[in-house]
Amino acid sequence: MKILVIGGGGREHALVWKLRQSPRVEKLWCAPGNGGIAQDAECLPVDTKDVGAMIALAERLKPDLTVVGPEQPLVLGVADEFSRRGLAIVGPSKQAAEIEGSKVFAKGFLERHNIPTAALYGVYDSPGDAYGALCAVDWPVVVKADGLCAGKGVLVTASPDEATAFIERLMEKREFGEGGERVLMEEALEGEELSFIVLTDGQEILPLAPTRDHKRVFDGNLGPNTGGMGAYSSDELLSPELERRILESIVRPAIRGLAAEGRPYRGFLYFGLMLTAGGPKMLEFNCRMGDPEAQPMVARMDFDLAEALAATAGGSLGRINSRWKQGASVCVVMASGGYPGDFQTGKRIEGLAEASAVPWVMVFHAGTRREGANYYTSGGRVLGVTAAAPDLEAAIRTCYDAVGRIRFEGAQFRSDIAAAGLTRTRAAGD
Ligand SMILES: Nc1ncnc2c1ncn2[C@@H]1O[C@H](COP(=O)(O)OP(=O)(O)O)[C@@H](O)[C@H]1O
Ligand SMILES: [Mg+2]
């Protein structure tokens, strides 16, 4: 198989790293890729906001399969255009991707199919209506922009002033463009979050290992939200009973519902869950694999990802079985100083070889550039240092051992990734 991976972050490096191990894969491209991905795949430039450019690239390379990492090309309809031209692709159609692209659509969909989620206060098209609605909500309240806002379109707050200021930024100042044209407000749920990601061909479902992301920039879940500062995977995150409940009450109804509404879903589908005292409830859908969830996920993956993805695109996922290495895996993101605010790039990264030499460690690159034998930072999230081990404690220790060997000016990372997983053996809600 010749495979093209679209995207250029840590998630794509993780996917490429795993695909490269498959004996079925004879050629791997990644577009645009990054400095680290270039070790494992041929990187080619492409604008992932330009569907025409991605088609032109695929028509030139003629891959047997294309795998889309980020949500934006999917929401723009890249999968439809590939399918129209007979190019096999892993990723949902534009209509199916609306499950992530519009939080208003997703909310209505959850309600239509009786899938547990936070109670909705309302959907607002004008700032005036949104400000007015604040008089009638319970606090804390959750304010969500309808469209894609690069992870900055949600606020959970107990303060009416903060809610008002956020609505102003979204709807009046249009800080996130069209994404903030409409907002919804919903009940704030309490519990622990879980990323439950599956592969589906529209009918069959292959659940992937459970993971947990760490969104806030500082230790103790303090500071602003980021794209993700780390994630871990362990079977302890999810009991078999809870997994059954998630599949029966959430995953199957969602995949059936999408098909029934004429939006059959094919690809990675990410269920962002809150494990509440009243059972698992949906926070949001993502129409793709998670980043940084992909990194600890592939570290435990013990089956042929290329075969599973080909079966996803080809509608034969039923014949694939997943297998996972026992134990746990941890990914710690090393970011540029100042991220998620302003940061500098172009800092030389040292110690990569020493870190990669630690047994069971993989250093996935998110924002790096290669120049000769050296690597330089080129983004907010720079590296996803990942380790797998027989248990969570060893995975954490190994991962931070590797992190400690890497240096670049201004490097920041959380020192408590997965630490909460050690103090409880089972997730809430089971
Ligand atoms: N109803 C809710 N109750 C409590 N927290 C929420 C709720 N909805 C979202 N959140 C919090 O906000 C974060 C971001 O919201 P999410 O819906 O995942 O949007 P996005 O990932 O697009 O920014 C979630 O990971 C969660 O921590
Ligand atoms: Mg989210």
Tens digits of residue pLDDT in 329-342: 999 999 999 999 99
Range in 43-57, 165-179, 188-202, 412-426 the model is least confident about: 412-426
Distance (Å) from CA 213 to ligand 2 centroid: 9
Which residues does residue 197 pair with via DSSP β-bridges, in sequence order?
270
Q: Degrees (nearest 5) of the Cα angle 365, 215, 394?
A: 65
- Whose alpha carbon is nearest atom 20 of ligand 1? 151
**306-to-4, 270, 287 alpha-carbon distances in Å:** 11, 19, 19
Over residues 255-299, the pLDDT tens digits come to 999 999 999 999 999 999 999 999 999 999 999 999 999 999 999
Distance CA 288, CA 267 (A): 7
Distance CA 290, CA 247 (A): 19
Instruction: Average the pLDDT over 366-393 and give the result.
Output: 97
Mutate-to-test residue for ligand 1 from 146, 155, 283, 286, highest number of ligand atoms within 8 A of CB: 283
Report the pLDDT value the prediction gives residue 147, as an integer from 0 to 100.
Answer: 96
Residue 272 and residue 360 in contact, taking contact as beta carbons nearer than 8 Å = no
The token pair at 70 is 């980020």
Average predicted confidence (pLDDT) for the chain = 97
Strand, helix or coil at 128?
Answer: helix
Q: How many residues does the chain have?
A: 430
Within 6 Å (CB) of ligand 1, which residues are found?
118, 142, 151, 153-154, 156, 186-189, 193, 215, 272, 283-284
Distance (Å) from CA 154 to ligand 1 centroid: 6
Over residues 295-313, the pLDDT tens digits come to 999 999 999 999 999 999 9
- Give the up-direction half-sphere exposure of residue 407: CA atoms within 13 A in the CB hemisphere: 3
- Whose alpha carbon is nearest atom 19 of ligand 1? 154
Report the pLDDT value the prediction gives residue 150, as an integer from 0 to 100.
Answer: 85
Residue 182 and residue 274 in contact, taking contact as beta carbons nearer than 8 Å = no
Percent of the chain, pLDDT > 70?
98
Report the pLDDT value the prediction gives residue 428, as an integer from 0 to 100.
Answer: 44
Unique residue bearing structure tokens 């309240």: 141
- Whose alpha carbon is nearest atom 9 of ligand 1? 283
Strand, helix or coil at 103?
Answer: helix
pLDDT of residue 77 exceeding 50: yes
C-alpha 76: how far from its chain's center? 18
Over residues 395-427, the pLDDT tens digits come to 999 999 999 999 999 999 999 999 999 986 444
Distance CA 375, CA 343 (A): 17
pTM across the whole model = 0.97
- 227: nearest Cα among 287, 291, 147: 291
Return the ligand 1 atom nearest residue 215 CA: 25
Report the pLDDT value the prediction gives residue 424, as an integer from 0 to 100.
Answer: 67
Instruction: Average the pLDDT over 176-190 and give the result.
Output: 96
Other Cβ atoms less than 10 A from the Cβ of 1: the count is: 17
Distance (Å) from CA 246 to ligand 1 centroid: 18
Q: Which helix (H) or strand (E) holds 280?
A: strand 279-286
If pLDDT is split at 50, 70 and 90, which confidence band does 143 have? very high
The token pair at 354 is 């020493």
Distance CA 259, CA 261 (A): 5
Distance (Å) from CA 154 to ligand 2 centroid: 9
Residue 65 and residue 86 in contact, taking contact as beta carbons nearer than 8 Å = no
